[in-house]
Amino acid sequence: MEDVTNMYISPLPDSPYVKPFRFNYTQNGKAKSWDLLEVHDSVAIVVFNITRKRMIFVKQFRPAIYYNCISLEDRRANKIDEKKYPASLGIALEMCAGIIDKNKSIEEIAREEVLEECGYEVKVSNLEKILSYRSGVGVEGAKQHFFYCEVTDDMKTAQGGGVDDEIIDVVEKTIPEIEEMLKSQETLASPPSCLFALMWFLHHKADKFRQ
Cβ neighbours around 161 below 10 Å, total: 16
- Which CB, 132 or 174, lies closer to a copy of itself? 132
- Which CB, 17 or 154, lies closer to a copy of itself? 17
Task: Give the shortest CB-41-to-a copy of itself separation in angstroms.
Answer: 8
Task: Give the shortest CB-94-to-a copy of itself separation in angstroms.
Answer: 6
In 3D space, the residue among 42, 56, 43 whose CA is nearest the CA of residue 120 turns out to be: 56
CA pair distance 119, 173, nearest whole angstrom:
16
Task: Give the shortest CB-157-to-a copy of itself separation in angstroms.
Answer: 25
Q: Say if residues 67 and 75 touch (Cβ distance below 8 Å).
A: yes
Task: Give the shortest CB-154-to-a copy of itself separation in angstroms.
Answer: 30
In 3D space, the residue among 60, 84, 59, 83 whose CA is nearest the CA of residue 71 turns out to be: 84
Dmax over CA atoms of the chain, in Å, equals 61
- Which CB, 51 or 133, lies closer to a copy of itself? 133
